[in-house]
A = this chain, B = another copy of it.
C-alpha cells in the first residue's frame, strides 16, 4: 500500500495510460474476433479497422502531452521516492521511448500488412503453398528490420536485440544463445540416451477417439479447477491457440480439437489457462493501463502457462485427480489405462514436426530452430525464399529427420505472419523460469503434491498471485526470479525436472 498523495500530473498520467490501454483492449477484441468468428469477407475491413485504431493508439502513446506528464512525474521527488511508483515510471518511460521511435506510418503499415499476411498465411498453410506466403513473409521481415532500425541496435548488440527487448525487456540474443547452446547440448544427449537405452512408453491412451464436445467439457472442468474465472473469460476454438487478456474482467482463451490425441487440446487449454490466470491475477480492476497491472515479460508469462501445462498437467498427481473426470466425460474411452499409463504417455521426449504438439523436452529444440532462422533473416544472412530450405536443413541437424511438407515445416506457426519476430526464444525462457520457480513452490506450498491429487490448486494459485501476479511490472524478470528463488536463472532446474519426469516413463 502506497500512502503518498497523488499529484494531478500523476492522476493525469494514469488516466492517459488507462485510455491507451482501453484502445488497446479494443484492438485485442478485433484480433480475437478475426481468429474466432469473423467471416472471410470481413478481412479487408478488419485490416482497415486495425490499422486505423493502431494509428490512433500510436498517436496517443507518442503524444507530447504524455511525454510532458511523464517528465513532470519523473521530476517529482515524492513520486520517484516511492519504490512502486518509481518502478511504474521506469516502465512508462521505457514504453514511451520505444513508441516514440516508431513513426505512425510504420505502425499503421505493420498493422495492416500483418492482418493481410495472417489471412494469406492461413490459406497458404491450408494448401501447403509456401510460395503464396513468401511475399508476405518478406514484407513482414522487411517491416521488422525497419522497426529494429528505428529502435536502434544496443551497444555491443545486434538488430535482433532491439526486437527481443519488446517481448523480454533487457534480454540479449547473445546471452540467450549462451544459455540455449549448453541447454541444447544436454537436451540432445538426454534424448539420445532415452532413444538408445530406454523403452518409449505406449501412446495408446492418447490415441483414443474423443468427440470435440466431450473434450471441450473436460477442458472447461479442468480450467475451473485451476481457478480460471469463466464469468470473466471464455474458451473458443481457433487454428492457433492463444490467450487474450484484453480488458479487466475479459480474458479469452482458445484451443483446438482433434478427434484423436485429446491431450493436445487439454494441454493447449491448460497452457492458455495458465496465461489466463496470470492475466486475471494482474491488478487490472484498479490499475488497468499502468505497468503495475501489466505482465513483466513474455518469458514470465510463458512460465505461468508452462507451469500449468507441464509441471502440473503432466504430473502423476494431476492424473490421479483428472483421470476419473476424463472417464466421466469420455464415457469409458480410457478404461483400459491406469493413472500410471496416462502419466507415462504424456512424458515422452522424441522428435516431432509440429512445435505446438512437441513434448516438453524437444519443444526447446523447436524454439532454437526458429531463433536461429529469425536471427539470420534479420541479419540478412537468409532471404524469405530460402526459409523452407534453411528450416528443413536445420531441422535435420537438430532432430535427425526432415518435415514432409511446409505445413509441418516453416508454415506451421502464425507468429511471423503478423510480425512477431524475436518472440520465440521467450518460450524456452518460460520453461526455464517455470522450472526454477517450481522447485521453490514445492518447498514453500505445504503438501502441494497431495493437494494436486485432489484437484486442489487454490494454494498454488494463491502463491503465484502473491509472488508474481500482483506485482505487475514492478520487478524485471531476472530480478523477480532471483528474489523468489534466491538464484539467477539457470538451466539446471529444467534439466533436473525433465530427467526426473521422463526417465521413469522410459523405464530408466
Contact = CB atoms under 8 A, between A and B. Distances in A.
Given A49-B247, A231-B41, A248-B44, A26 B22 contact: no
B22 A231 contact: no
A185 interface: no
A39 B247 contact: no
Interface in A188-236: 229-234, 236
Contact of A229 (B33, B41, B52): B41
Interface of A is mostly: helix
B248 A40 contact: no
Query: How often does this chain occur in the complex, in copies?
Result: 2
Contacts of A45: 22, 25, 247-250, 288
Interface residues of A, number: 37
Contact of A33 (B29, B53, B56, B248): B29
A98 interface: no
Contact of A42 (B30, B38, B249): B249
Contacts of A236: 37
B52 A249 contact: no
Interface in A12-58: 19, 22-23, 25-26, 29-30, 33, 36-46, 48-49, 52-53, 56
| Residue from A29, A229, A288 whose CB has the most chain B CB atoms within 10 Å | A29
Contacts of A249: 39, 41-45
Contacts of A30: 26, 29
B41 A234 contact: no
Contact of A39 (B25, B41, B231): B231
B22 A48 contact: yes
Nearest to A37: B234
Interface in A232-254: 232-234, 236, 247-250, 252
Nearest to A55: B19
Contacts of A234: 37, 39
A288 to B, nearest CB: 8
Contacts of A41: 229, 231-233, 249-250
A22 B52 contact: yes
A39 B234 CA distance: 7
B49 A22 contact: yes
Contacts of A232: 39-42
A374 B53 CA distance: 37
Contacts of A39: 230-234, 249-250, 252
Contacts of A29: 29-30, 33, 49
A40 B233 CA distance: 8
Interface string A69-99: 0000000000000000000000000000000
Nearest to A43: B249
B247 A42 contact: yes
Nearest to A42: B250
Most chain B beta-carbon neighbours within 10 Å: one of A40, A42, A230, A252: A42
Question: Most chain-B Cβ atoms within 10 A of its Cβ — which of A26, A232, A236, A248?
Answer: A26
Name the residue in A45, A229, A248, A288 with the highest tally of chain B Cβ atoms < 10 Å from its Cβ. Answer: A45
A25 B29 CA distance: 13
A19 B233 CA distance: 31
A61 to B, nearest CB: 14
Interface string A257-272: 0000000000000000
Nearest to A285: B44
Contact of A231 (B40, B48, B52, B230): B40
Contacts of A37: 36-37, 234, 236
19 contacts: A19-B52, A22-B45, A22-B49, A23-B52, A26-B30, A29-B33, A39-B230, A39-B231, A39-B233, A39-B234, A39-B250, A42-B232, A42-B247, A42-B249, A43-B249, A44-B249, A45-B248, A45-B249, A45-B288
Given A36-B37, A37-B236, A45-B247, 18 more contacts: A19-B52, A25-B49, A26-B53, A29-B29, A37-B37, A37-B234, A39-B231, A39-B234, A39-B249, A41-B232, A41-B250, A42-B248, A42-B249, A44-B248, A44-B249, A45-B288, A46-B250, A49-B247
Interface of A: 19, 22-23, 25-26, 29-30, 33, 36-46, 48-49, 52-53, 56, 229-234, 236, 247-250, 252, 288
Name the 9 nearest CB pairs between A and B, nearest first. Answer: A41-B232, A42-B250, A41-B249, A45-B247, A42-B249, A45-B248, A22-B52, A41-B231, A40-B231
